[in-house]
Amino acid sequence: MPDVAFVNGAFVSLADAKVSIDDRGFQFGDGIYEVIRTYGGRPFELEAHLARLDRSAAALDLIQPYSPAEWTNHILEGIRRAAYPEAKIYIQLTRGVAPRDHAYEADLTPTVVLTVRELHSLSRSVQAAGVEAMTIEDIRWGRCDIKSLSLLGNVLARQQAKRAQVFEAILLKEGSITEGAVSNVMVVRGGTVMTAPEGPRILSGVTRAVVLGLARKEGLPVQERCIAQADLYGADEVFLTGTTVEVLAVVRVDGKVIKDGRPGPITQRLAAGFTGLVG
């Protein structure tokens, strides 16, 4: 079963999938992306991902080459061709090819890349035990709500976490938690599920919205508000949400054990609810 690539309107083998070195995605990180996964072979929350792609494109004045229906057709065709049990779909849309100049012409043809690869979920043992995280200063730009290709702040944070042998970097801006390097962060205190509010400091995660919806449906109080570093250390529970992490307990932050060092009851309830939803 092959990894599948789709470049500018045509399916090609990965070896033949090429873009120009003058592509503005390569030169400037001038583009956007989405990561979507399948459950049971079907793309999860595709509409929400495509809506976010639209929002990112509009924010950067990027021409959207496809309607949601056309994107959907290409994605479904890619999934069919790859024929993996579960797939990870990556969409990348850049402003296109032009001689290097920071300012751009309005009529550039965007470059579209879509890949479908086999999805490897986190192991059950990692999910059951939870993971460790560390806090790192959030040095990213002021529009983290755009799913931009320019991910240097995230890359450096995640690498710092890797070097420290912890799973995720939890980013702190002016003392408040924004999000993880590749996930959103939720904190439970006194039965309330708290997470940073939507806005320019975080990516509005598709999984975040699904999990907050689940929490509300379960009758759990939800607060979208600033969370200080001290709230994190003193939390009853901490967990991450994201396409690749799903609902993942954090049991230790900066070497400090959260509560009893095990995934808490609300995290487990929401993780089970999430599994029920996607299963």
Binding residues vs ligand PDD (CB under 6 A) = 35, 154, 179, 182-184, 203, 205-208, 241-244
Pull the structure tokens for residue 202.
Answer: 């975080």
Q: Shortest Cβ distance from residue 205 to ligand PDD (Å)?
A: 3
Active site residue 162: no
Output 132 or 179, the one with its CB closest to ligand PDD. 179
Q: Shortest Cβ distance from residue 38 to ligand PDD (Å)?
A: 13
* Measured CA angle at 121 (ends 196, 241), to 5 deg: 10
Output 74 or 201, the one with its CB closest to ligand PDD. 201
Catalytic residue among 18, 147, 173, 259: 147
Q: How many angstroms separate the Cα of 203 from the Cα of each of 63, 144, 196? A: 21, 6, 10
Q: Shortest Cβ distance from residue 45 to ligand PDD (Å)?
A: 8
Give dist(CA 185, CA 161) in Å, integer: 15
Output 255 or 279, the one with its CB closest to ligand PDD. 279
Output 94 or 183, the one with its CB closest to ligand PDD. 183
Give dist(CA 99, CA 105) in Å, integer: 11
Q: Shortest Cβ distance from residue 179 to ligand PDD (Å)?
A: 5
The DSSP secondary structure of 102-159, one letter per residue, reads: SS--TTPPPEEEEEEEE--PPPHHHHHH-EEEEEEE----S-TTS-BS--HHHHHHHH
User: Which residues carry out catalysis?
Assistant: 147
